[in-house]
Amino acid sequence: MRAFYRRLVEAGKLKKIALIAVMRKMLHALNLLAANPNFVLVR
């Protein structure tokens, strides 16, 4: 997630916008985990 955040900031996104994008990505992964206990988040 840190690399994703840094890539967004380096691409010119505001830090707050990049943080929201990371939170949305994490929320999406958590929703997948809740829907499917066999879901594995690969690094």
In a domain, 43, yes or no: no
In a domain, 29, yes or no: yes
Per-residue buried b or exposed e for 4-40, using 16+ beta carbons within 10 Å of the residue's own CB: ebeebeeeeeeeeebeeeeeeeeeeeeeeeeeeeeee
Instruction: Please write down the long-range contacts of 10-15, taking CB distance under 8 Å and 24 or more positions apart.
Output: none
Domain region containing 8: 2-35
Q: How many domains does the chain have?
A: 1
In this prediction, residue 25 carries a pLDDT of 94
In this prediction, residue 14 carries a pLDDT of 97
In a domain, 41, yes or no: no
In a domain, 14, yes or no: yes
In a domain, 42, yes or no: no
In this prediction, residue 43 carries a pLDDT of 64
In this prediction, residue 23 carries a pLDDT of 97
Answer whether 0.85 is exceeded by the pTM: no
**Per-residue model confidence as pLDDT tens digits over 1-43:** 899 999 999 999 999 999 999 999 999 988 888 888 777 767 6
In a domain, 7, yes or no: yes
